[in-house]
Amino acid sequence: MRFKALLLIILISLVSCKDSKKNNETKQVSEIKPEINLQKQIDDCEHQLEIAVPKLTDLTKHPRLIDTDKKEWKEVGNDKLIWTSGFYPGVLWYAYDVTGNERWKEEATKRTEVFEDFKNITEHHDIGFMMFPAYGKGYEIGKKEEYKDILLTSAASLATRFNPNVGTIKSWSTKMHPRWKQHITIIDNMLNLELLFWAAKNGGDQKFYDIAVKHAETTMNNHFREDLTSWHVIEYDSINGNVLNRHTKQGFADDSRWSRGQAWGVYGYTMVYKETKDKKFLDFAQKITDKYLDLLPEDMVPAWDFDVQSNPKEEKDASAAAVVASALLDLSTMVESKEDQERYYNAAIKMLESLGSDKYSAVGKADSFLLHSTGAKSLGHEIDVALIYADYYYIEALSRLKKLEAKK
C-alpha cells in the first residue's frame, strides 16, 4: 500500500515537472518578439521606385495595377471617376518621408499637381481617397502650405454628400451602381473621413468634424454583423434613414466577409479614435480588429474574402494586410494596456514581415512593392495582381514603424 502511494507521488511530481518545463518553453516562445529588417524593406521600396519611376512619364495617367505574371504598371487616365489617382503620388511622398531623397519629393510634387481640379468632385465619396494621399501627404510630409486651400475645398465637396436624414455620406450614385436606388454607403467610406477631420483642424468649418463623427456613429450601428464583421454596401432610405438592404459589390456574396472591407473598418475606426479621443470608437476599433486578427491565416495575409479562405486556391489580398498593418501600428500606441500595445504591434510586425518576404515582395519579379492583391474578384477583375493602394498602405506602415522605432 505504502509502495503504491510512493509510486503515485513520484508520478505526480514527474508530470508536474514536465508541465512546468512546458510552461517555461511556452513562455520563452511567446517572449520572442517578431522582428523585421525595416531598413531592408525601405531599401527594397526605393529600389523598386528606381526601376518604375523612369517608365512612368505620362502625367495624364497614373499606375493602377500590374497584371499577374506581368512586370510593368498598367496605367489608367487621370479621371475624376477613378478612385486610385492619389495613391501613386502618396507612395512618392512616403518614399521621400522614409528616405529623405529629394528626388521623390520632386516626383511626388509633379504627380500630385496634375489633378488639382479634382477638389471639386461631388459625384462620389472617393475624393478623400484621391486627395488625401496626394495633397494631404504633400502638405504634411512635403510642407506644401499651398495645398491647404485645395484640401479645404475638397472637404467641402465631400461634405455635400452628407445626408442628415441618414447620418452618413452617400458613397456612390445610382447612375454608376444601378443595383441600388437610394442612399448607398460602403464601409470603405470610413477612410474618407480623414479629409474631413483634417479640414476641421486646419481652418475648415466645424461641420466637417460633426459630419465625420455622425457618419462613424451611424456606420458603427448599421454596418457590422453581430460577429463584428462588416457588410460592404448598405442601402438606406434617403428620407427616413432606415436600412433597406445589406449587400456587397466586391465580396464573394452579399452576406460574406470581404477582407478589405473589414480592413477599411479597422483603419477607419482607429483613425476616428485618433481624431476624436472618444473611447467608444477605440473600443469598437479593438473589437473589429480582434475579429480580423482571429480570422487570419498563418501568413497574416487574408484571402480576398474570409468566406472563401478555407480553399487554398482562392487568391490573397495583400492590400488588406497592408491597410491593417498600418492601422495596427497606430492602434498599438493608443490602447492603454501594455499587453494590447504589444499584441497589436507584434501583429503589425508579423504582417510586414510576411509582406516583405519572398512570397509577397515584388523585388526581382515586377515593378511594384507587393504582389498578390485582389481588387474585385466578384466582378472578374484585378485578381492576384499588384495594386497601387497596397503599395501605398505598405509604405505608410513602414514610415509609421520607422517613427515608432525612432521614439524608442
**Smallest distance, Å, CB 294 to ligand GLY?**
22
Beta carbon nearer to ligand GLY, 260 or 316: 260
Nearest to 377 by CA among 311, 291, 323: 311
Taking alpha carbons only, the member of 408, 396, 402 closest to residue 140 is: 396
* Smaller CB separation from ligand GLY, 139 or 304: 304
Which residue lies nearer to ligand GLY by CB, 204 or 261? Answer: 261
Here the cell at position 294 is: 482571429
What string marks each residue from 52 to 91 as x (binds ligand GLY by CB under 6 A) or -? -------------------------------x--------
As a whole number of angstroms, the distance between CA 334 and CA 266 comes to 14
Residue 372, all three cell numbers: 498578390
- Interaction with ligand GLY in 112-171: which residues (CB under 6 A)? none
- As a whole number of angstroms, the distance between CA 385 and CA 315 comes to 10
The one catalytic residue in 188, 317, 330, 391 is 188
**Binder to ligand GLY among 257, 260, 343, 350 (CB under 6 A)?**
260
Q: How far is the CB of 81 from ligand GLY (least distance, A)?
A: 13
Q: How far apart are CA 229 and CA 247, in angstroms?
A: 13
391 binds ligand GLY per the rule CB under 6 A: no
d(CA 369, CA 393): 11
Q: Is the dihedral of CA 211, 172, 90, 41 positive or negative?
A: positive
For ligand GLY, the closer of residues 41 and 374 by Cβ is 374
Report if residue 305 touches ligand GLY, rule: CB under 6 A.
Answer: no
Tell me, residue by residue from 371 to 390, as one string, x for binding to ligand GLY by CB under 6 A and - for no binding.
----x---------------
Min. distance of Cβ 388 from ligand GLY in angstroms?
11
**By CB under 6 A, residue 249 contacts ligand GLY:** no
User: Alpha-carbon distance 241 to 183, whole Å?
Assistant: 9
**Which residues are 165's β-sheet partners?**
none
Identify whether the C-beta of residue 46 lies closer than 8 Å to the C-beta of residue 99: yes
Cα Rg of the chain (Å, integer): 23
Q: Does 188 contact ligand GLY by CB under 6 A? A: yes
Instruction: Quote the CA–CA distance of 181 and 174 in Å, as a whole number.
Output: 6
Question: Out of 126, 307, 384, 391, which one is annotated catalytic?
Answer: 126
Instruction: Report phi then psi at 300, rounded to 5.
Output: 70, 5
Active site residue 188: yes
299 is catalytic: no
- Judged by beta carbon, residue 83 or residue 284, the one nearer ligand GLY is 83
Catalytic positions, written as ranges: 126, 188
Name the site residues for ligand GLY (rule: CB under 6 A): 83, 188, 250, 260, 375
